[in-house]
Amino acid sequence: MAIDPAAIEAGADRLFTLFEKGGQADGLPDACAGLSVADGYAIQKSLLARLTGDIERARVGYKIGATNAVARQLLNADHPFHGSLLADRCYRSPAVLDSARLNKLAIEPELALVLGADLPAGVDPHTADSVAAAVADVVPALEIVDSRFAAWTEVGLPSLVADNGVNAFWIEGTARPLAGIDLTAQQVSVARNGVTEHEGVGGNVDGGPLGVLAWLANMLNRQGEMLKKGQKISTGTLTPVIAAAPGDTLEADFGALGTVAVSFR
């Protein structure tokens, strides 16, 4: 049974306050007890309306979380989820972020796909092969994840969904045409303050980045929405989540795709 509309708005109100003023809560209001994943998306939709003023250009695209088994285990999730990339929280590399704006510093190197065409409903279902023709460019990226919940790995999937998929910021590198790039074989190495700590590959996300894109296209179609030309879709971390501290610089080297860097002051 879905929670009622008043509970949806109460959940969105609490999260909006935390987005605007900072800090964390133990959870959503008591009225949201027993919420489902669908309820989580309803809260997320209401939260995003507050954060964007319902202006379409304020949304750059989407992030997808829990796209591999390691991430799902960390978050106690049994399937992926999506949130939105917001224009005022997206930066070009190299970026410098104020640590005080974050509850915790957690970084994920990701491959993002830029759509050159819409992916509407009517394809049942979209597949990695069918979405490939709609992708124009690939962008190396870093997602900075954060949560408005103190025990964010324990609150459960519906609350993570409500919290805009635990997105905080997104740092993008230079877009390059997808043609000729093997996304599943694409490598990345991540260095902290010049010392390499993690390495990964595009195939570390379920079905590769194109498989993740197909999952999102199908999910949005079920929710009465669709992916549109020009949107950017960040397809999930290629390495374990990387914790950072104030003063750190993280640089992800994607080889021929270039580097993406963020520093925390």
Residue range 35-45, pLDDT digits in tens? 999 999 999 99
Question: What confidence category does residue 53 fall into, taking pLDDT thresholds of 50, 70 and 90?
Answer: confident
Measured distance CA(64)–CA(233) in Å, rounded? 8
* Domains of the chain from N-terminus onward: 5-264 (3.90.850.10)
Cis peptide, bond prior to residue 125, ω within 30 of zero = yes
What token pair was written down for 167? 């997105």
pLDDT digits (tens, 9 = 90+) for 162-207: 999 999 999 999 999 999 999 999 999 999 999 999 999 999 999 9
Expressed in angstroms, the distance from the first to the final Cα of the chain is 45
> Once rounded to an integer, what is the mean pLDDT over residues 56-66?
92
How crowded is the C-beta side of 247, counted as CA atoms within 13 Å? 0
CB 135 within 8 A of CB 208: no
**54 falls in which pLDDT band (50, 70, 90)?**
confident
For β-strands 167-172 and 90-92, DSSP reports them as parallel
Cα within 13 Å of Cα(139), Cβ side: 27
The Cα 120–Cα 129 span in angstroms is 15
Confidence (pLDDT) at 1: 57
Q: How confident is the model at residue 117 (pLDDT cuts 50, 70, 90)?
A: very high
**According to the model, what pLDDT value does residue 174 have?**
98
CA torsion sign for 74, 75, 76, 82 is: negative
Residue with tokens 């605007």: 20
- For the segment 6-21, the average pLDDT, to the nearest whole number, is 96
Going by C-alpha positions, the residue among 93, 137, 131, 144 that lies closest to residue 111 is 137
Average pLDDT, the chain: 94
Q: Under a CB-based contact definition with an 8 Å cutoff, are residues 225 and 59 in contact?
A: no
pLDDT tens figures, 204-238: 999 999 999 999 999 999 999 999 999 999 999 99
E strand or H helix at 115: strand 106-115
Other beta carbons within 10 angstroms of residue 12's beta carbon come to: 23
Binning the chain into helix, strand and coil, the percentages to the nearest 5 are: 35, 30, 35
The 10s digit of each residue's pLDDT in 82-115 is 999 999 999 999 999 999 999 989 999 999 999 9
